Amino acid sequence: MDVLQAISNRRSHRAYKAEQLPEEALNAILTAALQSPSARNRQPWHFSVVQDAALLQEISDEAAKVMGKGGSPRFADPDFQIFYHAPTAIFLFGEKENSWTPIDCGIAVENIALAAEGLGMGSVILGLPKPAFMGEKADALRAKLQCPEGYDFVIAIALGYSSDTKDPHELRAEKISRIG
Ligand SMILES: Cc1cc2nc3c(=O)[nH]c(=O)nc-3n(C[C@H](O)[C@H](O)[C@H](O)COP(=O)(O)O)c2cc1C
């Protein structure tokens, strides 16, 4: 798929089929992640691929618990799960002592989203898991997900064959200034 087509077609998908990603698609997506540019080529990321539904549920429950009632109103729905029951989630852990980490991980997560789109799969970038890495289970979850020493959660992305349709978000022309 043409890169502009993949950018244009990508949406945040919030419903998934149970079918798992083919292994070769996952490998291609992870290669695209590793191919991301990073400041001074430090590659300050670690990608943890989770395909264990029980572990994803545990992280979702913990995020909901840490956020409490003041968190997302979506937590009021008992069926709401922050991974939307996608069969795969990739967690991006980033080097803490590096001011470029959020940007580098942001670029990498978009590479993952576009690679998935190009391969016919859907995704949604997820900040909502973050509270799970801030509460009393934080160390245990970082250990389970093999987060390296000196790294912490930055962002996650759920992946799979989507079962919803979504309109593109509005394009705001006023967000662009042309000078000269
Ligand atoms: C840094 C970041 C964090 C996000 N976190 C979540 C999230 O936790 N849950 C969710 O459903 N969507 C999340 N999104 C998806 C946004 O809501 C979505 O990108 C936006 O509404 C535009 O829709 P689109 O991606 O379909 O164009 C996140 C997106 C970004 C870039």
Secondary structure of 15-84 as H, E, C letters: CECCCCCCHHHHHHHHHHHHCCCCHHHCCCEEEEEECCHHHHHHHHHHHHHHHHHHCCHHHHCCCCCCCC
Across 122-157, b (16+ Cβ under 10 Å) vs e yields bbbbbebbbbbbeeebbeebbeebebeeebbbbbbb
Rounded Cα–Cα distance for residues 12 and 157 (Å): 10
Tens of pLDDT, residue by residue over 99-122, are 999 999 999 999 999 999 999 999
Closest-CA residue to 68 (of 125, 134, 126): 134
Rounded distance from Cα 11 to ligand 1 centre (Å):
9
For atom 1 of ligand 1, the residue with the nearest CA is 127
Q: Decide if 43 contacts 51 (C-beta within 8 A).
A: no
Global pTM? 0.97
- Angle at CA of residue 39, ends 36 and 40, nearest 5°: 110
C-beta atoms surrounding 161 within 10 Å: 16
**Helical (H) or strand (E) element with 90:** strand 88-95
Rounded distance from Cα 124 to ligand 1 centre (Å):
6
What the block records as the tokens of 124 is 């949604």
Domain ranges of the chain: 3-164
Ligand 1 lined by 128 (C-beta under 6 Å): yes
**Helical (H) or strand (E) element with 93:** strand 88-95
What tens-digit pLDDT sequence spans the chain (180 residues)?
Answer: 699 999 999 999 999 999 999 999 999 999 999 999 999 999 999 999 999 999 999 999 999 999 986 667 787 787 899 999 999 999 999 999 999 999 999 999 999 999 999 999 999 999 999 999 999 999 999 999 999 999 999 999 999 999 999 999 999 999 999 999
Ligand 1 lined by 172 (C-beta under 6 Å): no
Establish how many alpha carbons lie within 13 A of residue 133's alpha carbon, considering only the half-sphere containing its beta carbon.
21
Give the CATH superfamily of 3-164. NADH Oxidase (3.40.109.10)
Q: Using the atom order of ligand 1, give the atom closest to the CA of residue 84.
A: 11
Rounded Cα–Cα distance for residues 83 and 152 (Å): 19
